[in-house]
């Protein structure tokens, strides 16, 4: 999938003590909307309140949105960014990284999978396979391929990667809702022959009945959730077992604590979580690393390999996305663990 531009919307919260926290709202391609909601609707809810009262403040923000179809879309994305900013404030106040405040360290490092390899980047499937070998040489042992281009093209590309990297490397595929139920089952059975690790978003997210049908028909694990909002949006998908792997996005699913609740709900059904990152900027990257560190049922981190995003790489003083033998380090600085490079920020600010 090609994106015409990279955008991000950040919530900024400053306390009476002069501590400033930042959190990212997903609001892809429409950062002005998130900013307007935060400034005009959520701001008045928060001013003068204690930032440590996150549960209460979150509920107050959510209730304030009730008149505007508050359970999805830009409103929830705005809440997500504000909630992350509150955690950043708390962490900086206590001089602790956020992961220590939301459950502590469950792992010493965060293993990644390279996402998303798109066949349009390559002249042919052989070149795609060579790229996959290059990832393995960088100690990346899992990678995700964009599919949804028809059975034959998908077969050729998956086969090229499997033949190139062998059986020890995990291959994920992401159809981005390209198929209907019948097509997804047919192509999914082909993926099973190549031992694909999971099949992401085989059909449109609103078709819960379809997800249940696909999941029951295939031995291949089904993953989804980047298009869902809040625990309420995940409830039926999880309880009806429409997926095997849950993928909430911290910048749109309600924030850090809401993602933890979604992961906990999924764990009751023995479903791991693989948080979605996509084209997020440094705010979502940092918050997701803290979630990955503190979630027992966490699977792997979605690392957007070969997609240059200056909002992730240039905005922070110290980037958090440097790979080390196929993993990322867990931020140890107070709060979310990043500070803005002000010169770079001025370069990318929307006028």
pLDDT in tens, 174-226: 999 999 999 999 999 999 999 999 999 999 999 999 999 999 999 999 999 99
Residue 54, CA atoms < 13 Å, CB-side half-sphere = 21
**348 in any annotated domain:** no
Model confidence, pTM: 0.93
Percent of the chain with pLDDT over 70: 95
In this structure, the answer to whether residues 138 and 16 fall within a common structural domain is no
pLDDT band at 54 (very low <50, low <70, confident <90, very high): very high
Q: Which residue has the higher pLDDT, 187 or 322?
A: 187
95 and 114 both lie in a single domain: no
Q: Of the candidates 81, 100, 119, which is a domain's last residue?
A: 100
Residue 113's domain spans which residues? 101-342
Burial of 285 (0-12, 13-18, 19+ CB in 10 A): buried
User: Do 205 and 262 belong together in one domain?
Assistant: yes
Give a yes or no: residue 4 inside a domain.
no
User: Does 147 lie in the same domain as 26?
Assistant: no
Residue 155 has pLDDT above 70, yes or no: yes
Q: Please write the tens of the pLDDT for every residue from 235-264.
A: 999 999 999 999 999 999 999 999 999 999
3-state secondary structure 166-225: CCCCEEEEECCCCCCHHHHHHHHHHHHHCCCCEEECCCCCCCHHHHHHHHHHCCCCEEEC
Q: Last residue of some domain: 100, 121, 140?
A: 100
CATH of the domain at 25: 3.30.390.10
């Amino acid at each position: 999938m090609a994106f015409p531009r990279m955008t991000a919307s950040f919530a900024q919260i400053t306390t009476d003590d002069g501590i400033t926290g930042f959190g990212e709202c997903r609001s892809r391609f429409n950062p002005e909307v998130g900013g307007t909601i935060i400034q005009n609707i959520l701001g008045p809810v928060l001013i003068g309140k204690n930032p440590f009262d996150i549960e209460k403040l979150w509920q107050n923000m959510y209730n304030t949105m009730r008149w505007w179809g508050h359970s999805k879309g830009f409103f929830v994305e705005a809440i997500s960014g504000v909630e992350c900013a509150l955690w950043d404030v708390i962490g900086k106040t206590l001089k602790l990284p956020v992961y220590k405040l939301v459950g502590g360290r469950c792992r010493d490092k965060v293993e990644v999978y390279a996402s998303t390899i798109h066949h349009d980047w390559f002249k042919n499937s052989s070149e795609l396979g060579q790229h996959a070998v290059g990832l393995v040489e960088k100690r990346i042992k899992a990678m995700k391929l964009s599919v949804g281009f028809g059975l034959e093209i998908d077969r050729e590309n998956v086969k090229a990667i499997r033949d190139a990297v062998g059986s020890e490397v995990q291959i994920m595929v992401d159809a981005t809702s390209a198929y209907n139920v019948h097509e997804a089952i047919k192509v999914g059975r082909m993926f099973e022959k190549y031992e694909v690790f999971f099949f992401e978003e085989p059909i449109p997210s609103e078709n819960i009945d379809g997800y249940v049908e696909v999941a029951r028909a295939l031995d291949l694990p089904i993953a989804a959730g980047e298009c869902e909002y809040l625990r309420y949006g995940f409830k039926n998908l999880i309880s009806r077992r429409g997926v095997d792997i849950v993928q909430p996005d911290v910048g749109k699913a309600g924030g850090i604590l809401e993602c933890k609740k979604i992961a906990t709900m999924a764990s009751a059904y023995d479903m791991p979580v693989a948080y979605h990152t996509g084209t997020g900027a440094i705010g979502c990257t940092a918050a997701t690393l803290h979630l990955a560190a503190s979630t027992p049922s966490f699977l792997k981190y979605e690392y957007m390999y070969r997609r240059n995003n200056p909002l992730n790489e240039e905005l922070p003083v110290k980037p958090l996305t440097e790979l080390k033998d196929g993993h990322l380090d867990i931020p140890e600085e107070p709060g979310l663990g990043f500070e803005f490079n002000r010169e770079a920020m001025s370069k990318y600010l929307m006028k």
